[in-house]
Amino acid sequence: MILTLALLAGLIAAWLLIGVVEKFRLGLRFMQALLYVPFRLAYRLADDRIKIARNAAAPVIYVISHQSRLEPALMLSLLPEDTLHILDEVSARSPWFEPWRELGRTIAFNAEHVFVSRRLVRVLKGKGRLAVYLPDAVEPDIKTFRLFRAVTRIAMQADARIVPIFVAGARALPLSLTPADKAPRRWFPRLSISVLEPMTIAELVARNPDQSSNTNALFDRFAEARLFGSDLNRGLFLAIRDAADRVGASHPIIEDVISGALNYRKLFIGARVLGRRFEAVTAPGEAVGLLLPNANGVVLSLVGLLSASRVAAMINYTAGPASVTAAVRTAEIRTVISSRAFIDKASLADIVAAVEEGGAKLLWLEDVRTSVTALDKLAATLLWRWPLQPQNAAKPAVILFTSGSEGTPKAVVLSHRNLLANAMQAEARITISPADILLNVLPVFHSFGLTGGTILPLVTGVKLFLYPSPLHYKLIPEVARKARPTVMFGTDTFLANYARTAKDGDFSSLRFIVAGAEAVKPETRCVYRERFQAEIIEGFGLTEAAPVVAVNTAIHGRDGTVGRLLPAMRMKLEPIEGISGAGRLWLDGPNLMMGYMTSDRPGELQPLDGWHDTGDIVSVDREGFITIRGRAKRFAKIAGEMVSLGAVEMLVQSLWPEEHHAVVAVPDKRRGERIVLVTTADDADPDELRKFGRQAGAADLMVPNDIVKVEEIPVLGSGKTDYVSTRKLAIDRLGLSAAA
């Protein structure tokens, strides 16, 4: 009995001592500190940023993501005692919550109704503080979004600052408000508190004046707190391992049509074995080429390179020998990892020769596998959780090569932080969970296929099903029928072709499809809605942004736009003479590249300095939805008027939808430039096009008088139109070489 009492006294003394430490460390009242101690010890809370919230000058509104029943108790322990906490009815009545409820002022409200704002405005104007708990919804429904409007209105009337708070890891708690299949439960996950600097609504709007309404400015700031709840300085290997810890090492994470499925543990074991071999023939920080299809092997190799602190240079094997040689030389690649079976099956002997001509040697995965010993496998099994080399998120992780549709391809250098930030930006905007299955048919050498289709599922626990080619129009619907994906990535061209060959049930498992790289046609969107009940959400990106810049969501979407800017990104529009209601898009954000490597300065990183000029002409509505008007290089200046060549292409496509078309601008002595249509339509007639243009309300300047008929439109390996070659073809056919 005495021993028990002594032990109990010791525990109480330790509790009191830790409470005293917390009181002075965070500036809490003693009772707050005592009731905070259990959270601090149980969840190893990272709480340094809570001082930002405590020190925020009143009037202030703390906007807290309500992921679990824990947040109200935690915030009552940590926020200033004069804060008025607006609780949901369950928290307001829960018996276990009673000790924490006594720490501050609380009122209950019915989430079905908007706040009674006049009373709250009076509280704030008296230098008060409010804590508002908003539902944890990446894509809030109309009812939830009304709460954002109410908070915005109250903040503006009281001139109050907003402080968003997000408790990272709370979704995994047993008291989580998220279903267990979407957030696997853990008794004592490590938690960290993400707190952003106080800002008024006016200050939030001023950050992106071209694209924010008041409520959307608050919503975007709230999403930023979720984004920065992730430690973007972890490095990709550690971020993937963190995901394995959250969902379990036995959680199936990748699968292909040949090798089958691998869980996280097997993924890391295989990656470590490969990484050891890569480490032996390359140097830390060296660019190592990956010449592999969408299959388990490319993910194992990528994670192995990340573990060994090598830079994965993704080789576009469809770009042609000349481009591959240029890529190898530009990035100073000395070793390229590939597979003999893949090279033979895809008939890529010319690409292998191009790699060797660039000065690189091939490292064959078949040879690596045969050299692996039982001791290697045992070591990897025991040490799979640890990377081979120290990880640094600020260092380069991946090199991607731009398509060069309008000029010479460049090597884009992306850091671990760039890629992880972009994946987490997408996760903060689109609802996904470990209950999802993502079908990725886009090649990993393409930025969309790499970040969205590979890195995003790896760091979020979404199972990834890899298919080696997006061109298998008849097979992919059958794969979807068997794999039962809930999410899919694609382009309009690919999606339209899949729909033509698919049976009605093939894509019935899909919740939504993310489409990019080209505009989604209304008919493609319609067929997926009607036949498969799947929503196509259109986005926009560029390799230099790792790549996603903006995206619609299933709930917050607007057809014909590419959605709203991702959290933590800023944009500005540069006016363009001759174009009204739009401007040249410049971007800044944590996902913007480290810089370029170019052929004239191989191996040398040319850092991005400040804002990035995308070269895209866009318009933005008051809700922040972005519409792409065209590339700056895809506008022609005719008699002083700016004409979008992309808009002309859409006009032509509407008239002859079964054919392929490209519109280019060529020199004209009288008017500066003129528009030429290059088309596969044998019966294309200028008069018919002119008549159709008038009916569609198009200006006469938009209608090409010159039509060049070809059997095929020149394309790049990525499938995009090669406008450089198309323009040269048009100039040659029209006899304008001297003028060009």
Q: Residue 739: which pLDDT band, with cuts at 50, 70 and 90?
A: very low
For residue 726, give both structure tokens. 């198309």
Which range has the worst mean pLDDT, 127-136, 144-153, 337-346, 406-415?
406-415
CATH 3.40.50.12780 location in the chain: 236-629
- Give 221-255 pLDDT, tens digit per residue: 999 999 998 889 989 999 999 999 999 999 999 99
Average per-residue pLDDT for the chain = 87
pLDDT at 297: 93
Over pLDDT 90: what percentage of the chain? 48
For residue 224, give both structure tokens. 């930023």
Query: CA-to-CA distance for 574 and 482, rounded, in angstroms?
Result: 48
Over pLDDT 70: what percentage of the chain? 94
Exposure of 219 in the CB half-sphere (CA atoms within 13 A)? 26
Q: Which fold has domain 236-629?
A: Rossmann fold (3.40.50)
Q: Residue 298: which pLDDT band, with cuts at 50, 70 and 90?
A: very high
What's the mean pLDDT in 499-527? Answer: 86
Phi and psi at residue 360, in whole multiples of 5°?
Answer: -110, 155
- Give 309-357 pLDDT, tens digit per residue: 999 999 998 888 888 998 999 999 999 999 999 999 999 999 999 999 9
pLDDT at 695: 76
Q: Residue 535: which pLDDT band, with cuts at 50, 70 and 90?
A: confident
- Which residues on adjacent β-strands are paired with residue 596? 412, 606
> What is the reported pTM?
0.87
Torsion sign, CA atoms 355, 356, 357, 358: positive
pLDDT at 156: 92
Active site residue 66: yes
pLDDT at 115: 62
Q: Which one from 66, 85, 612, 661 is the annotated catalytic residue?
A: 66
CATH 3.30.300.30 location in the chain: 639-733
Specify whether domain 639-733 bears CATH 3.30.300.30: yes
Query: CA-to-CA distance for 489 and 475, rounded, in angstroms?
Result: 16
Q: Rounded to 5 degrees, what angle do the CA atoms 65, 70, 75 make?
A: 65
**pLDDT greater than 50 at residue 205:** yes
- Give 446-483 pLDDT, tens digit per residue: 888 999 999 999 999 999 999 998 888 889 999 999 99
pLDDT at 509: 92
Q: Rounded to 5 degrees, what angle do the CA atoms 464, 469, 471 make?
A: 130
Q: What is the DSSP letter of 103?
A: T
**pLDDT greater than 80 at residue 198:** yes
**pLDDT greater than 70 at residue 640:** no
Query: CA-to-CA distance for 165 and 198, rounded, in angstroms?
Result: 11
**pLDDT greater than 80 at residue 631:** no
Q: In the sheet where 626-631 sits, what is the strand order?
A: 570-575, 583-588, 612-620, 626-631
Query: CA-to-CA distance for 319 and 489, rounded, in angstroms?
Result: 21
Query: CA-to-CA distance for 316 and 289, rounded, in angstroms?
Result: 10
pLDDT at 404: 55
pLDDT at 311: 97
Calculate Rg over the CA atoms of the chain: 28
Which range has the worst mean pLDDT, 361-365, 368-372, 376-380, 656-660?
656-660
pLDDT at 261: 93
pLDDT at 355: 94
**pLDDT greater than 70 at residue 621:** yes
SS3 210: coil
pLDDT at 591: 95
Q: Rounded to 5 degrees, what angle do the CA atoms 210, 212, 216 make?
A: 165
- Which residues on adjacent β-strands are paired with residue 108? 87
Q: Residue 712: which pLDDT band, with cuts at 50, 70 and 90?
A: confident
**pLDDT greater than 70 at residue 114:** no
**pLDDT greater than 70 at residue 125:** yes
pLDDT at 740: 45
SS3 205: helix
Q: Residue 738: which pLDDT band, with cuts at 50, 70 and 90?
A: very low
Longest dimension (CA), the chain: 104
Q: What is the DSSP letter of 452?
A: I
More confident residue, 568 or 721: 568
Distances (CA, A) of 218 to 147, 444, 528, 623: 11, 35, 33, 12
Query: CA-to-CA distance for 710 and 714, rounded, in angstroms?
Result: 10
What's the mean pLDDT in 387-398? Answer: 96
Distances (CA, A) of 413 to 90, 287, 318, 396: 49, 10, 20, 6
- Give 588-606 pLDDT, tens digit per residue: 999 999 999 988 889 899 9
**pLDDT greater than 70 at residue 637:** no
